[in-house]
């Protein structure tokens, strides 16, 4: 019996507290047997509205882990307690297992009577069927992360459901969820997001073996999914048997030899001097079930370490990976390759091959950690966790590894993927075109689709959906969200990749230590296949953060991975004048600082202030300076900042670091805050504090103690000084600037004061909740320098709203000043610019505006509300704008909270 649980329940009975926390009370199923003391006491708590039985759980509203306040041993349950049926008014129930220690709850049927529940968390259990949950029609939030169920039938009946987290299960078909994201009022958004990122109106289905619709369709959102269902209904379904086979490993590991013998078992093998420079993609047609073509696209990567920063762009999920290493080398770099595959390939299968150099077979004993960890999906086909290959000896091991590869391909969730019938002949036509053309315009891509079926590809969105799908599979490259690349479709991905590798491998650029002159491109890309394509390829260098333009010579570039390392004497020594911060990693991808340099290239102090593992920044306005140094072998990145408003520059770097890290899956650094006391600033071994621990400690105490300097340090001040925030504290209002024409404001006629209407509809966010602090020129004080004030507000705000109308487009000050500042800050990621279309006009024909996402969605103007069947009054149009602004603020506030 849990005495602690009884004590907590009795205290709750006395105080009538509607929140009852029974986590960490050492509770087991035995404690809840009918008639037990805990069972009897809990049944009396009918006033309780929220019950927690978990030791630790994740709160998607607070965006963080929550810990039970009790201090006993952890609970562990395999049954839903019977006493719950007595708590008829319960609105919140948390009964989730621990991260890493799954509970054993299988049956959810006992919860069916809790019909007042609005929030239920059953994460980290072993639920195989969702019995009884369809009765909980008041549910608004349902968290079922990390269970074992496949069928989601019944969830669609939960008409009030807004947030649904069903990641890390065995779901293959999400068709039953269609009513939730298709409903006319407040449809939920279907998303594939990391496990800790699900907004209030989202259905997160990531990390499931989804085949219907194909995951590549789901990634595009609700509209694409609904179009998929409509196409399947109208034209039927056909199946695509294509998969990606990725060969990785160090140079001379035997990747190209295996690739050749997979395709042709008597093909001549490359000599020892041959090596893959860049990437080679070959199609391997093999026999599979049925009459359809079965094709594996073999991606053979160059293994040289200078290529490492590029790997992450082409190591994708839903691929079979073959990791080869040779017995000729003693180092195989498994500690790089296996975690990297896991990061970017997810749970994709990994087949390990041992290339037996000169027939030499060596037992590998350095795989134990990866074999014992289920996160790494290493395929074991025999007694050893790898397949021995000696292709020179009558293809020894080839048959075994070929069978293992085909078996794993057929298990991939997208293999035999169901697609609209019209897509199969279009796919074949694209494949035929790719034999003679590496890169075509999107217009030509559209013509090819129309030629195969003019009816099914009649609209632009039909072609775009198809192109998105092929891009997601890695069959083509189409960067629809990048203005300079969206008009081109790369039919042969290796064409683009090898163009990048030619730059990396060029001897002249290596001699110049990574400096690329404008004339180098025509010399390196002299082949006819690159003719007239230089600007596309240059943009790809920047998109992949491989290179960036020089600060003063805009036609010249710098490629950081070919630069020298920073000389030891140029590394800033710890000093009292520096703000300092350290990122520590369990696994650190190579080249993070290279990407940071590319992202913040406009702030690099000079072309000589960037190295392959470090960079010096200088803020152009405040002249604050920073140095960022990557120590790959100690898996850390150190940041030192000094000068006026050093904290502001530190915040800029932290934000850019967050963007770089977010582009990697499963990379979570520990942020270390060095103690700023005088003793520690002089010390080679200063006291340090982990950011997450500081946040936790801040809940119970205001300060921490430094043993080195024997001083107390206020936690809030410690975080503030290095540009970090205490996310548990109230966030500041976001500053918003409203740009508008006087004719849509005080000079408006016939009730057309859209400025006033916009501000009134924003009032729940500004006046009542103080989430936003709007400013417009009606707030100018008499006699104030209006131009100076407007520029000041524009340069310091978080969000800029543009009230678009014909008069807005024809106001000179707006065009020459306000828009120029707004777009520049938006492009520099210093703020977000949001057009609000108040009156219909040709704003999409203005390049700087057309690339922005506008409100109302779909481009309808507020004044044209009668043309939208979902709006009965103009207030409905404004309510739509308000809802979208609220979502934007919720997202933006997470990054700008102070």
Domain CATH code at residue 278: 3.40.50.300
pLDDT-above-70 percentage for the chain: 94
Burial class (CB in 10 A: 0-12, 13-18, 19+), 663: middle
d(CA 596, CA 326): 34
Higher-confidence residue of 495 and 768: namely 495
- 262 in the same domain as 133: no
Domain carrying residue 155: 3-210
- 183 in the same domain as 74: yes
203: β partners: 164, 190
Least confident interval from 55-59, 270-274, 499-503, 656-660: 270-274
- 380 in the same domain as 508: no
Higher-confidence residue of 10 and 886: namely 10
- 246 in the same domain as 200: no
Q: pLDDT tens digits for 74-102?
A: 999 999 999 999 998 899 999 999 877 89
Domain's final residue, options 387, 411, 435 = 411
In a domain? residue 129? yes
Highest mean pLDDT among 130-134, 291-295, 471-475: 130-134
Q: For residue 266, what are its two tokens?
A: 């008597």
In a domain? residue 417? no
Q: Is the pLDDT of residue 758 over 70?
A: yes
- 255 in the same domain as 189: no
Please give the pLDDT value at position 582. 92
- 282 in the same domain as 384: yes
- 270 in the same domain as 171: no
How many CB atoms sit inside 10 A of residue 276's CB? Answer: 20
Q: Residue 213, preceding bond cis, omega within 30 degrees?
A: yes
Q: Is the pLDDT of residue 871 over 90?
A: no
Please give the pLDDT value at position 418. 85
Enumerate residues 6+ apart whose C-beta is below 8 A from 865.
871, 873, 874, 876, 877
Q: Is the pLDDT of residue 860 over 90?
A: no
125: domain CATH number? 3.80.10.10
Q: Is the pLDDT of residue 458 over 60?
A: yes
- 199 in the same domain as 263: no
d(CA 670, CA 769): 33
Please give the pLDDT value at position 545. 80
- 396 in the same domain as 251: yes
Angle at 40 between CA 132 and CA 104, to 5 degrees: 45
d(CA 688, CA 676): 9
518: domain CATH number? 1.10.10.2200
In a domain? residue 788? yes
How far, in Å, are 215, 217, 221, 230, 564 from residue 174 at the CA level? 10, 12, 13, 15, 51
Q: What is the mean pLDDT of the chain?
A: 86
Least confident interval from 178-192, 306-320, 537-551, 649-663: 306-320
In a domain? residue 222? no
Q: Is the pLDDT of residue 158 over 50?
A: yes
Domain's final residue, options 511, 535, 562 = 562
Cα-to-chain-centroid distance, residue 596: 17
The b-or-e profile of 293-315 (16+ CB within 10 A means b, else e) is ebbbbbbbbbbbebbbbbbbbbb
CB 614 within 8 A of CB 627: yes
Collapsing DSSP to helix, strand or coil, 441 comes out as strand
CB 301 within 8 A of CB 258: no
Please give the pLDDT value at position 278. 64
In a domain? residue 710? no
**How many domains does one find in the chain?**
4
Please give the pLDDT value at position 622. 83
pLDDT confidence bin for 898, thresholds 50/70/90? very low
In a domain? residue 661? no
Helix runs in 764-873, H state only: 786-796, 806-809, 812-813, 819-827, 847-850
Q: pLDDT tens digits for 566-602?
A: 999 999 987 667 888 999 988 888 788 988 988 888 8
Q: pLDDT tens digits for 219-244?
A: 888 889 999 999 999 999 988 888 88
Q: Is the pLDDT of residue 729 over 60?
A: no
Please give the pLDDT value at position 276. 59
Q: Is the pLDDT of residue 846 over 60?
A: yes
- 185 in the same domain as 132: yes
In a domain? residue 680? no
In a domain? residue 353? yes
Mean pLDDT of 655-659: 86
DSSP state of 668: -
- 247 in the same domain as 206: no
Q: For residue 512, what are its two tokens?
A: 């110049």
Please give the pLDDT value at position 873. 81
How far, in Å, are 363, 369, 401 from residue 366 at the CA level? 9, 8, 21
Please give the pLDDT value at position 149. 95
d(CA 13, CA 22): 13
Please give the pLDDT value at position 896. 45
Domain's final residue, options 353, 382, 411 = 411
- 144 in the same domain as 275: no
Q: Is the pLDDT of residue 897 over 50?
A: no
pLDDT confidence bin for 730, thresholds 50/70/90? very low
Q: pLDDT tens digits for 607-654?
A: 889 998 999 999 887 889 999 999 988 899 999 999 888 888 888 898
Please give the pLDDT value at position 728. 47
Please give the pLDDT value at position 674. 85
Please give the pLDDT value at position 765. 78
Q: pLDDT tens digits for 368-411?
A: 888 887 778 899 888 888 999 999 999 999 999 999 999 999 88
């Amino acid at each position: 019996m849990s005495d602690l649980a009884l004590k907590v329940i009795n205290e709750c009975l006395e105080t009538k507290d509607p929140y009852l926390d029974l986590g960490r009370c050492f509770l087991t199923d035995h404690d809840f047997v009918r008639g037990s003391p805990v069972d009897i006491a809990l049944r009396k708590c009918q006033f309780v509205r929220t019950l927690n039985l978990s030791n630790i759980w994740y709160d998607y509203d607070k965006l963080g882990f929550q810990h039970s306040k009790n201090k006993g041993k952890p609970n562990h349950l395999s049954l839903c307690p019977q006493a719950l049926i007595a708590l008829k008014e319960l609105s919140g129930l948390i009964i989730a297992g621990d991260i890493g220690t799954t509970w054993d709850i299988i049956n959810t049927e006992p919860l069916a009577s809790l019909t007042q529940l609005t929030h239920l968390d059953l994460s980290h259990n072993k639920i195989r069927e969702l019995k009884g949950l369809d009765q909980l029609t008041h549910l608004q939030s349902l968290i079922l992360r990390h269970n074992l169920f496949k069928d989601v039938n019944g969830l669609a009946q939960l008409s009030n459901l807004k947030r649904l987290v069903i990641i890390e299960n065995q779901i293959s078909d999400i068709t039953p969820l269609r009513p939730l994201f298709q409903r006319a009022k407040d449809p939920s958004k279907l998303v594939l997001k990391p496990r800790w990122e699900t907004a209030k109106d989202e259905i997160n289905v990531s990390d499931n073996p989804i085949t219907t619709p194909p995951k590549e369709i789901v990634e595009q959102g609700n509209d694409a999914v609904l179009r998929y269902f409509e196409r399947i209904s109208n034209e039927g379904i056909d199946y695509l048997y294509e998969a990606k086979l990725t060969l990785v490993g160090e140079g001379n590991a035997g990747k190209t030899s295996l690739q050749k013998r997979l395709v042709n078992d008597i093909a001549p093998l490359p000599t020892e001097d041959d090596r893959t420079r860049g990437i080679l993609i070959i199609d391997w047609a093999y026999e599979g079930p049925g009459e359809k073509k079965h094709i594996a696209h073999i991606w053979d990567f160059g293994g040289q370490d200078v290529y490492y920063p590029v790997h992450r762009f082409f190591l994708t999920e839903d691929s079979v990976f073959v990791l080869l290493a040779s017995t000729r080398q003693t180092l195989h770099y498994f500690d790089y390759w296996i975690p990297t595959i896991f990061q970017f390939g997810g749970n994709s299968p990994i087949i390990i091959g041992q290339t037996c150099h000169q027939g030499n077979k060596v037992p590998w004993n350095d795989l134990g950690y990866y074999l014992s960890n289920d996160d790494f999906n290493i395929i074991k086909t025999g007694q050893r966790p790898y397949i021995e290959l000696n292709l020179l000896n009558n293809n020894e091991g080839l048959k075994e590894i070929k069978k293992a590869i085909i078996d794993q391909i057929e298990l991939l969730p997208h293999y035999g993927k169901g697609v609209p019938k019209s897509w199969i002949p279009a796919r074949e036509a694209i494949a035929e075109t790719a034999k003679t053309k590496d890169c075509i315009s999107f217009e030509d891509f559209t013509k090819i689709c129309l030629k195969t079926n003019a009816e099914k590809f009649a609209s632009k969105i039909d072609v775009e959906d198809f192109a998105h799908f092929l891009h997601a599979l890695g069959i083509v490259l189409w960067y629809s969200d990048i203005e300079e690349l969206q008009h081109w479709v790369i039919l042969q991905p290796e064409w683009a990749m090898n163009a990048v590798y030619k730059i990396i491998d060029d001897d002249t650029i290596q001699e110049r230590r990574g400096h690329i002159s404008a004339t180098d491109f025509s010399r390196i890309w002299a082949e006819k296949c690159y003719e007239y394509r230089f600007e596309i390829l240059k943009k790809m260098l920047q998109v992949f953060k491989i290179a960036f333009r020089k600060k003063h010579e805009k036609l010249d570039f710098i490629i950081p991975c070919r630069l020298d390392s920073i000389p030891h004497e140029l590394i800033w020594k710890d000093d009292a004048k520096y703000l300092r911060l350290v990122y520590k990693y369990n696994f650190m991808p190579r080249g993070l600082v290279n990407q940071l340099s590319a992202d913040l290239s406009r702030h690099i102090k000079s072309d000589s202030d960037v190295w392959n593992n470090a960079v010096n920044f200088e803020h152009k306005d405040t002249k604050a300076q920073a140095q960022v140094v990557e120590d790959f072998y100690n898996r850390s990145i150190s940041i030192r900042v000094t000068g006026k408003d050093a904290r502001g520059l530190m915040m800029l770097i932290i934000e850019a670091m967050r963007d770089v890290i977010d582009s990697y899956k499963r990379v979570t650094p520990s942020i270390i805050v060095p103690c700023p006391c005088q003793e520690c600033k002089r010390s080679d071994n200063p006291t340090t504090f982990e950011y997450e621990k500081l946040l936790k400690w801040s809940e119970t105490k205001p300060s921490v103690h430094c043993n080195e300097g024997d001083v107390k340090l206020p936690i809030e001040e410690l975080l503030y000084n290095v540009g970090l925030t205490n996310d548990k504290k109230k966030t500041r209002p976001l500053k918003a600037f409203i740009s508008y024409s006087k004719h849509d404001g005080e000079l408006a006629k016939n009730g057309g004061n859209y400025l006033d209407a916009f501000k009134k509809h924003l009032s729940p966010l500004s006046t009542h909740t103080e989430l936003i602090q709007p400013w417009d020129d009606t707030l100018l004080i008499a006699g104030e320098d209006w131009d100076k004030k407007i520029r000041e507000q524009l340069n310091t705000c978080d969000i800029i709203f543009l009230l678009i109308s014909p008069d807005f487009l024809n106001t000179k000050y707006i065009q020459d000043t306000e828009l120029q500042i707004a777009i520049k800050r938006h492009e520099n990621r210093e703020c977000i610019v949001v057009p609000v279309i108040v009156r219909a006009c040709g704003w999409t024909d203005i390049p700087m505006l057309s690339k922005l996402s506008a409100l109302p969605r779909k481009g309808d103007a507020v004044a044209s509300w009668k043309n939208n069947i979902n709006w009965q009054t103009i207030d409905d149009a404004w309510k739509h704008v308000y809802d979208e602004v609220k979502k934007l603020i919720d997202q933006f506030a997470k990054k700008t909270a102070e």
